[in-house]
């Protein structure tokens, strides 16, 4: 099972997020405000869910003038007990990161981690540069043994 499939499964494990994807499959190109209005979700929650769904690649967005519109991603899920077992075996954060970004991503992580250690970049800036969450970046640093206690 690919890392993309696992991230989509994790994101869609929340029924409210799954409803957003289903809604976008029917109503392509909707704003966060429109999604919240149709589904009855508070706007901060909609934005949070959309960020998480985009990170999982279950939702895509594009800017239209001053507005961002969202679309359901193009994915198919195949789930079986064997695929789930494979997906949820213990993996290190480094394994997961390498699976997503390859060896080139590991090299970029090392460069960015060196900038953070030198005080030239914050943790949040580093995570954004790498296209990962703050939590993922801190976990990678911890596994690499470069987090100062």
Q: What is the pTM of this model?
A: 0.54
User: In the chain, pLDDT over 90 holds for what percent of residues?
Assistant: 54
Per-residue buried b or exposed e for 31-70, using 16+ beta carbons within 10 Å of the residue's own CB: ebebbbeeeebeeeebbebbebbeebbbbebeeeeeeebb
Q: What is the pLDDT of residues 82-110, one digit of tens each?
A: 877 776 676 688 888 888 888 999 999 99
| Mean predicted lDDT score pLDDT of the chain | 87
| Percent composition of the chain: helix, strand, coil (DSSP 3-state, to 5) | 65, 10, 30
User: What does the pLDDT average to over 50-78?
Assistant: 90
Domains with residue ranges and CATH for the chain: 3-72 (1.10.10.10), 90-144 (no CATH)
pLDDT of residue 132: 92
**How confident is residue 149, by pLDDT bands cut at 50, 70 and 90?**
very low
pLDDT of residue 36: 96
User: What does the pLDDT average to over 45-54?
Assistant: 93
| pLDDT of residue 1 exceeding 60 | no
Q: Which of 12-16, 32-36, 86-90 has the highest mean pLDDT?
A: 32-36
Q: No. of H helices and E strands in the chain? A: 8, 2
């Amino acid at each position: 099972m690919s890392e993309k499939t696992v991230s989509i499964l994790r994101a869609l494990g929340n029924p409210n997020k799954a409803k957003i994807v289903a809604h976008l499959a029917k109503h392509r190109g909707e704003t966060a405000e429109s999604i919240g209005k149709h589904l009855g979700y508070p706007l901060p929650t909609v934005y949070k869910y959309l960020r998480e769904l985009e990170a999982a690649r279950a939702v895509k967005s594009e800017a239209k003038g001053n507005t961002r519109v969202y679309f359901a991603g193009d994915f198919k899920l195949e789930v079986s007990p064997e695929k789930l077992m494979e997906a949820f075996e213990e993996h290190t954060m480094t394994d997961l990161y390498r699976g997503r970004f390859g060896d080139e991503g590991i090299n970029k992580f090392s460069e960015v981690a060196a900038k953070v250690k030198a005080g030239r970049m914050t943790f949040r800036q580093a995570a954004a540069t790498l296209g990962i969450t703050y939590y993922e970046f801190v976990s990678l640093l911890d596994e690499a043994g470069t987090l100062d206690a």
